Amino acid sequence: MNIIKIFVLVLVFPLLLSVNAHKFYVSVTEVAYVNEKKSVQIITRIFIDDLENALRQRYNKHLTFAPENEAEEVEIYLERYLKDKISIQINDKIVAFKYVGREYDNDIVFCYLEITDVKEIKSFQISNKVLFESFDDQQNIVKLKINDQNKSVILINQSDNVLLKF
């Protein structure tokens, strides 16, 4: 009987350890068209530690996200990174978004972006390559609320953009 218990422990224990060791690599981007303001408002949520590592690798700088005593260059490199990794086309035209700012919630950074002077949206294309260079299994979830329609997609390294018609 003891041999069976030991045998089960030897088989099950490593499996339990591997479940806890696995980490998910995901970001969530919410896109909303606010017709009254004629703007597209975007919130991107990214795990701070993953983003820090990506910025350190990309720009060869030791950047640390911290609500207090944060270097001004963190904001500069974050904005540059987001503009390099996220691109948007509205009605088949490339549009530039404005980096509005960021805030922290525990281990996540919320990045706020906006596109102004958008009169109507017939098609919306987004490419989101955030953290793809860091993690092969990175997934970027994009949730859209445009023209009273809700759509969601998951972008992966092999398929990093989507075109939606409204």
- The mean-pLDDT minimum among 62-66, 117-121, 132-136, 151-155 falls in 62-66
Strand 139-146 and strand 26-34: the pairing is parallel
Amino acid of residue 118? V
Domain ranges for the chain, please list them. 23-165
State whether the Cα torsion 7-8-14-17 is positive or negative. Answer: negative
Strand 86-90 and strand 39-47: the pairing is unpaired
Cα Rg, the chain, nearest whole Å = 20
Amino acid of residue 45? R
pLDDT at 62: 87
Q: Alpha-carbon distance 42 to 82, whole Å?
A: 12
pLDDT at 4: 55
Mean pLDDT of the chain: 88
Q: Alpha-carbon distance 65 to 102, whole Å?
A: 10
Residue 108 or residue 63, greater confidence: 108
pLDDT at 20: 42
What letter would DSSP give residue 159? B
pLDDT at 1: 52
- Predicted confidence (pLDDT) per residue in 85-141, tens digit: 999 999 999 999 999 999 999 899 999 999 999 999 999 999 999 999 999 999 999
Strand 39-47 and strand 26-34: the pairing is antiparallel
Q: What residues are paired with 84 via a beta bridge?
A: none
pTM above 0.75, yes or no: yes
